Amino acid sequence: MTQVRARKENFPDLACQGWFVSEGSDTIEHMFDVVNPGAVDDLVGEHADEFFDAATDAQIAAAYAEQGPRVEVPIDDLEPGLELAARLSGIVVEALSGEEQLAVLRAQQRMASHYAAASYGSIAAVSDTVDAIEDDPVLAAESTAAEIRVALTLTRRRADDQLHLALRLRRRLPAVWAALSAGRIDVARARVLVDDTEHLSIGLAQQVIADILPDATGLTTGQLRARLRRLCIQVDPAEATDRYRAAISERRVITQPTPEGTAHLFAYDLPPDQVTAVTDRINRLARTLRQAGEQRSMDQLRADVFIDLLLGTRHRTGGGVVDIRVDLATLARLVDHPGDLAGYGPVTADIARQITEHVGNQWRYTVSDPETGTIVDTGVTRRRPTTPDRRAVESRDTHCVFPGCRMPATNCDLDHTTPYGQGGTTTPTNLAPLCRHDHRIKHTGWTYHPQEDGTYHWTSRLGATYQTKPP
């Protein structure tokens, strides 16, 4: 342990950050666990008083960085609670390495989730208390929301929303609440788990949650939602089909004026395959115009192409591409496994079969072994497919391989995992899809390496490591 001192008048706020005031002294003291204590001893040697008398917080942090001390922060495996809270309260983040700062950030997020779960538990407890004195369930819910709204200074809608989420967590899906309390998921992912299983019975919802919860920590909300949709289709295919048919019958287009004098145009509840094809066609046209020298941004070009198509302006291009993945048993109507529509996510077996029967646009197929998931064959429905190498990569890696990204591989760049200039070959084994944004990120200092099991091991600029799993 190394002791660091600072004058109280220079650092009046340090006491609340884990520093303490020595009794009868005019100094504030802090104890550090350090990897390189000698460097800190050098820093706070015979000239320590003079240094801390004049130094600012930023200067102290800079001096620590120059001398090379590193606070030992073994907190990644700590469960949220009093010990972790105490550890975090005594850390000066500016004195840490980049990798250690990320560890602190993860720990803080776990504590935030823990406290959020406690808050939702308190809301549920308030609801229980009101229920005990009010016989009318509707009035009890309104009274509980009113108590929460006033106590937390919320709008009525926000109070209703918080009460709804709290009760679903504590009463309907207690396993999700437990995962939130343990810091394994955050509030955003908890909300996805609650909202996207709302249509299922309690028994089926809990079955789906039990299947997905172990993996939820490593999934973004987008990945989590796509995985949930697939599981919900699998546990009750008939219900999924009924919901789809009911929603498609409510399809509509709505216009909305804006304060800036522009207007929004919304189309709701459209068939996903048609939306995918339309989106792909708009993107293709926009890219063609951009390559021809257009100075408008891609967003502007997409919007203008969209309007042109609706108004009948002619653009020379083929139809949009629909990339669907479905097993042969489902196509043969032997089973009803969900398909996967690139850029959208899981679709019911009926929709998958309808897409493959539609020949107006190009669609790509991938056949896999149902037991091992190994790719058996790939292809396209028209005579001029993309190059075999690109097709093989897009079939193997269905989306951008950067951690958390879900951009379809068909809209990605193909990156050489071993750079071409360093002898890398232009073959599927040395190519991986990266969306344009993450392709640029990769070239800022991130590195990745494909593994034999299909995963990609990434290392960030700060030295943090991540793993993306095969589809």
pLDDT of the residue at 23: 45
How would residue 113 be classed by pLDDT, with cut points 50, 70 and 90? very high
The share of the chain scoring above pLDDT 70, in percent, equals 74
Sequence-distant (≥ 6) Cβ neighbours of residue 407 within 8 angstroms:
399, 400, 435, 438
The mean pLDDT of 329-357, rounded to a whole number, is 77
* Dihedrals phi, psi of 433, to nearest 5 degrees: -80, 130
For 132-162, the pLDDT digits (tens) are: 988 888 899 999 999 999 999 999 899 999 9
Higher pLDDT, 319 or 173: 173
Q: Is 327 helix (H, G, I), strand (E, B) or coil?
A: coil
- Give the pTM: 0.64
For 31-59, the pLDDT digits (tens) are: 444 333 344 344 444 555 555 555 555 55
Rounded to whole angstroms, the Cα distance separating 468 from 471 reads 9
Rounded to whole angstroms, the Cα distance separating 408 from 410 reads 5
For 397-422, the pLDDT digits (tens) are: 888 999 888 888 888 888 888 876 67
For 123-136, the pLDDT digits (tens) are: 999 999 999 988 88
Sequence-distant (≥ 6) Cβ neighbours of residue 167 within 8 angstroms:
123, 124, 127
Alpha helices in 153-220 (DSSP H): 156-167, 174-181, 187-195, 202-216
Structure tokens that stand for 313 in this block: 């302006």
Alpha helices in 236-324 (DSSP H): 237-248, 272-291, 298-311
Q: For tokens 């309690």, what's the residue? A: 202
pLDDT of the residue at 202: 95
The mean pLDDT of 161-179, rounded to a whole number, is 96
Domains recognised in the chain with CATH numbers = 1-62 (no CATH), 104-235 (1.10.10), 271-311 (no CATH)
Sequence-distant (≥ 6) Cβ neighbours of residue 317 within 8 angstroms:
281, 284, 285, 288
Q: For tokens 């203008």, what's the residue? A: 304
Among 16-30, 108-122, 173-187, the range scoring the smallest mean pLDDT is: 16-30
Higher pLDDT, 84 or 356: 84
Among 40-44, 108-112, 265-269, the range scoring the smallest mean pLDDT is: 40-44
Question: Over 80: is that where the pLDDT of 266 sits?
Answer: yes
pLDDT of the residue at 80: 92
* DSSP secondary structure string for all residues of 181-192: HTTSS-HHHHHH
Among 51-65, 89-103, 253-267, the range scoring the smallest mean pLDDT is: 51-65
Neighbours of 189 (CB within 10 A): 23
Task: Estimate the crossing angle of helix 272-291 against helix 349-357, to 10 degrees.
Answer: 50
The share of the chain scoring above pLDDT 90, in percent, equals 31
Cα distances (angstroms) measured from residue 390 to each of 275, 282, 313:
23, 21, 32
* DSSP secondary structure string for all residues of 350-385: HHHHHHHH--SS-EEEEEE-TTT--EEEEEESSSSP
pLDDT of the residue at 75: 83
